Structure 1
Amino acid sequence: MKYEQTKELEEEKFRRLTGIKRPTFDKMIAIFNQANIQKRTRGGRKHKLCMEDQLLMALEYLREYRTYFHIAQSYGISESSAYKGIKWIENTLIKHPAFALPGRKALRKSECGYEVILIDATESPIERPKKKQRHFYSGKRKRHTLKSQLIVDKQSKIVICTSFTNGKRHDFRLFKESKVRINQQIEVIADTGYQGLNKLHAKTKLPKKRTRKHPLTKQERRSNALLASQRVLNENVIAMLKRFKILSDRYRNRRKRFGLRFNLIAAIHNYELSI
């Protein structure tokens, strides 16, 4: 579907198609027009598609995760042109301040504005690697995966920072290896995968785990339910990001660009919360 056809779509249908709102689309076009002016000064061949169609093609790739071949056939270009166009779109957006995450440094500041943050991890399936298959095999998912850690502000619902590793890595080990340092004034809420985090950060709330000899009391079950109702916000954010099928379907590309695409989709989520 070309951009001229999408003009007739309602706002809700446009978002269902592209995964973003129209104001976000317009902001991206303004960024690309400025970047394209700088690109032309360095020379190079003009792209066959207009800027709106190039962006629509990239969003369609992230949203539906079709192959480059099928997308190229839909837009009447070569497969290599589709690949280069989508890559340029991604690289240009991730460099712009409007589509950048606050980052780990924001959590260290005493006046960062975050009162309560939520930490959780999610997994995305990948194709079976040719080497080091054990490192990517997740016993929880029973398949090879990439694990992504998200830190979300409870009040604003924005993604502050992310970290990535192979699917076998434990959630708490990923947190320690990510070298995230949280200001002691910020309250942290996490699930049972982060047992031991309260030793690193005093203001941490974790659900109580039951054992065979020590079942949970009614008060502990109520406390766990209250924490679960607060942590569900992080699950909702993850579900919003995974509307883009490139994060939820089996990832076919090289793993080195997975983090870039995940951060870009998270930054788009943050931007749409502000408009």
Structure 2
Amino acid sequence: MSPRQPSDCQEQKKYYSGKQQRHTLKNQFIVLPKAQDIIDVVMGKPGPMSNIKICRQTLSKFDVQQTFSGDKAYIGETQIKTPYKKPKKGELTESQKKENKALSSNRIFVEHLIRVVKVFKVVQERFRLQKSRYKSVLLTVCGLVRLRIGSLILRIIESEKSGEVIDVKMSHSFISKLDFVSLNPD
């Protein structure tokens, strides 16, 4: 996601991502296996900040025994299982290739969930609102995605006499699914 280009030179340097060649804000999702629910969202970090640095700031929220699985951006973090990288001028062993394939087959659900979030153009393209509204917009999109995948349950309470809607109650139950399962940050 790229915000408006800041007018101040020092502010521009803070958000400029050399990799993407533009001013960006980074987001990170931690989801349950099989993309059953979104557990945590880190949003609006400056573009040059690395994924592993964002992750290390986030891991303090979780138990040290909690395991995660991630892509190659998270290599070096002990709590995160990552795919093997091919060594320079070398090849991966057959067992390493099988482990990479198994890891990627579990992570594909995370990539699909990110695609569902990016269906909302406000997340995918340049953010044209004020930067202060970015977090509330992204949280709203995440709520809509959670509603779509069925992890957020809305119960409508109607009046018995008139049939009018009195209240809408929201519930979710991902805590029971969270008992030391392999989570996916991305």
> Under a length normalisation based on structure 1, what TM-score does the superposition of the two structures give?
0.50
**Cα distance in structure 1, aligned partners of 2:140 and 2:75:** 30
**Cα distance in structure 2, aligned partners of 1:194 and 1:147:** 15
Letter in 1 for 2:75: Q
- Equivalent in the alignment of 1:143: 22
**Cα distance in structure 2, aligned partners of 1:229 and 1:221:** 12
RMSD after superposition: 1.9
- Equivalent in the alignment of 1:173: 53
* SS of residue paired to 1:183: coil
- Equivalent in the alignment of 2:91: 215
- Equivalent in the alignment of 2:2: 125
Letter in 1 for 2:72: T
Cα deviation, residue 266, structure 1: 0.8
1:167-222 CA distances to partner (integer Å, 9 max, x unpaired)? 11100101123354323454311111112221xx2xx3111112214432222122
- Whether 2:72 is the aligned partner of 1:192: answer yes
- Whether 2:123 is the aligned partner of 1:244: answer no
Cα deviation, residue 242, structure 1: 1.2
- Whether 2:109 is the aligned partner of 1:230: answer no
Letter in 2 for 1:178: T
Residues 139 and 168 in structure 1, CA contact (< 8 A), matched pair in contact too: yes
1:66-111 CA distances to partner (integer Å, 9 max, x unpaired)? xxxxxxxxxxxxxxxxxxxxxxxxxxxxxxxxxxxxxxxxxxxxxx
Unaligned regions of 5+ residues in structure 2, if any? 154-186
**Cα distance in structure 2, aligned partners of 1:156 and 1:173:** 23
Work out which of the two has the higher radius of gyration on C-alpha atoms and give 1 or 2.
1
Unaligned regions of 5+ residues in structure 1, if any? 1-123
- Whether 2:13 is the aligned partner of 1:134: answer yes
Residues 35 and 113 in structure 2, CA contact (< 8 A), matched pair in contact too: no
| Bigger relative CO (Cα 8 Å, ≥ 6 apart) | 2
* SS of residue paired to 1:125: coil
> Under a length normalisation based on structure 2, what TM-score does the superposition of the two structures give?
0.71
Deviates more, 1:134-143 or 1:187-196: 134-143
Letter in 2 for 1:168: P
Q: Higher strand proportion, which one?
A: 2
Residues 241 and 247 in structure 1, CA contact (< 8 A), matched pair in contact too: yes
* Residues 156 and 175 of structure 1, relative CA distance in 2, 3 Å threshold: closer
1:160 to 31, 39, 46: 39
Residues 192 and 209 in structure 1, CA contact (< 8 A), matched pair in contact too: yes
Q: Aligned pairs, how many?
A: 148
Cα deviation, residue 235, structure 1: 1.1
**Cα distance in structure 1, aligned partners of 2:3 and 2:87:** 34
Residues 159 and 267 in structure 1, CA contact (< 8 A), matched pair in contact too: no
Q: Higher helix proportion, which one?
A: 1
Letter in 2 for 1:146: L
* SS of residue paired to 2:24: strand
* Residues 269 and 238 of structure 1, relative CA distance in 2, 3 Å threshold: same
1:105-128 CA distances to partner (integer Å, 9 max, x unpaired)? xxxxxxxxxxxxxxxxxxx12222
**Cα distance in structure 2, aligned partners of 1:227 and 1:210:** 15
**Cα distance in structure 2, aligned partners of 1:156 and 1:147:** 20
Deviates more, 1:223-232 or 1:165-174: 223-232
**Cα distance in structure 1, aligned partners of 2:60 and 2:139:** 16
Cα deviation, residue 228, structure 1: 1.3
**Cα distance in structure 1, aligned partners of 2:59 and 2:97:** 32
